[in-house]
């Protein structure tokens, strides 16, 4: 029985190297115990042997990039069984069925797809609901955002933020990691301090005024809004402080719009 401890978060690169070593030794999934920083599995068989990952160059199997990308998303999930699941699927793809990923009714594939989809959705939410606030750092403009993803999805969106805000100095803080961009290089920091993120900034009042003005009370669909923007994200979005009052006033505002329209 082999024990593999993944110490990094989310652990994709570390898992990939360890998986290559296990494949090189033809170790089946049932003979591996995967441990992580979030959860340590107990070895029911007693003695365990640590695996020392081998260099990537020793890997002899060729895995499609699409499959590796699917693993990358799934391994960013919070599910503690993700490492064992991905290795099990990898083993089956190599030694049993190279087209396994196409079997949408396979239990392992369904679980893998579920994890990957959840992470993709979580990553999209980050790009939609993250809000930067301005601070002065080293006498220069710097923008900081605090965001609480459901999974380890920060790394998945870093290319997006680097491209979208290429010429802006920014920091994105999450409970497990922060990313700092200075317009040239990206630096990652584990376990950042959320207190460095300000409660507001000088331009926030303009954003709130704009948000209030674009709110259309005649088209409000609260259930649809909560479905696309769940309340768990609201505490880090300044405009959401206005929503309850705008909903309460929506009927009166809608009637006023109708009356004003009839006068024209």
Single out the residue in 122, 149, 173 at which a domain terminates.
122
Q: Are residues 19 and 109 in the same domain?
A: yes
Single out the residue in 96, 122, 148 at which a domain terminates.
122
Q: What is the pLDDT of residues 31-50, one digit of tens each?
A: 999 998 665 544 444 344 44
Q: Are residues 155 and 208 in the same domain?
A: no
Q: Are residues 117 and 12 in the same domain?
A: yes
Q: What is the pLDDT of residues 46-84, one digit of tens each?
A: 344 444 444 434 446 778 888 999 999 999 999 999 999
Residue 21 has pLDDT above 60, yes or no: yes
Q: Are residues 74 and 157 in the same domain?
A: no
* Cα separation, 192 vs 173, whole angstroms: 6
Residue 94 has pLDDT above 50, yes or no: yes
Q: Are residues 108 and 213 in the same domain?
A: no
Please report which confidence band the pLDDT of residue 133 belongs to, taking 50, 70 and 90 as the band edges.
confident
* Cα separation, 249 vs 78, whole angstroms: 40
Higher pLDDT, 242 or 113: 113
3-state secondary structure (DSSP) of residue 141: strand
Give the model's pLDDT for residue 188. 96
Q: Are residues 226 and 182 in the same domain?
A: no
Q: Are residues 10 and 60 in the same domain?
A: yes
Total number of domains constituting the chain: 3
Q: Rounded to the nearest 5 degrees, what angle is found at the Cα of 166, between the Cα atoms of 154 and 172?
A: 30
Which alpha helices (H) appear in 75-106, and where do they start and end?
82-95
Give the model's pLDDT for residue 207. 54
Q: Lowest mean pLDDT: which of 14-18, 230-234, 242-246?
A: 242-246
Single out the residue in 152, 174, 196 at which a domain terminates.
196
The whole-number average pLDDT for the span 206-212 is: 56
For strands 2-6 and 49-50, give the pairing: parallel
**pTM, rounded to two decimals:** 0.73
3-state secondary structure (DSSP) of residue 192: coil
Give the model's pLDDT for residue 114. 97
- Tokens coding 143: 């923008």
Give the model's pLDDT for residue 84. 97
* Cα separation, 75 vs 198, whole angstroms: 32
Q: Are residues 152 and 171 in the same domain?
A: yes
The per-residue pLDDT of the chain, averaged, comes to 81
> Is residue 147 within 8 Å of residue 106, measured between CB atoms?
no
Please report which confidence band the pLDDT of residue 23 belongs to, taking 50, 70 and 90 as the band edges.
very high
Q: Are residues 217 and 190 in the same domain?
A: no
Q: Are residues 84 and 171 in the same domain?
A: no
Q: Are residues 164 and 246 in the same domain?
A: no
Q: Are residues 146 and 242 in the same domain?
A: no
Residue 50 lies in domain: 2-122
Give me Rg for the CA atoms of the chain.
24
């Amino acid at each position: 029985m082999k024990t593999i401890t993944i110490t990094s978060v989310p652990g994709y690169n570390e898992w990939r190297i360890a998986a290559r070593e296990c494949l090189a030794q033809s170790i089946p999934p049932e003979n591996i115990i995967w441990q992580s920083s979030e959860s340590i599995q107990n070895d029911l068989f007693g003695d365990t042997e640590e695996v020392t990952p081998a260099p990537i160059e020793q890997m002899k199997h060729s895995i499609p990039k699409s499959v590796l990308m699917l693993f990358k998303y799934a391994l960013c999930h919070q599910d503690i069984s993700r490492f064992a699941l991905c290795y099990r699927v990898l083993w089956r793809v190599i030694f049993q069925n190279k087209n396994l990923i196409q079997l949408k009714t396979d239990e392992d594939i369904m679980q893998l797809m579920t994890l990957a989809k959840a992470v993709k959705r979580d990553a999209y939410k980050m790009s939609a609901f993250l809000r930067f606030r301005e601070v002065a750092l080293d006498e220069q403009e710097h923008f900081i955002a605090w965001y609480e993803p459901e999974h380890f999805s920060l790394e998945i969106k870093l290319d997006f933020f680097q491209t979208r805000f290429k010429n802006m100095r920014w920091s994105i803080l999450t409970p497990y990691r922060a990313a700092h961009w200075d317009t040239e290089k990206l630096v990652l920091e584990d376990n950042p301090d959320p207190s460095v993120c300000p409660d507001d900034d000088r331009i926030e009042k303009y954003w709130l005024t704009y948000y209030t003005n674009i709110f259309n009370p005649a088209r409000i669909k609260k259930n649809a809004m909560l479905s696309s923007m769940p309340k768990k994200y609201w505490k880090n979005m300044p405009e959401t402080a206005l929503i309850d009052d705008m909903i309460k006033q929506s009927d009166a505002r809608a009637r006023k719009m109708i009356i004003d329209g009839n006068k024209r």
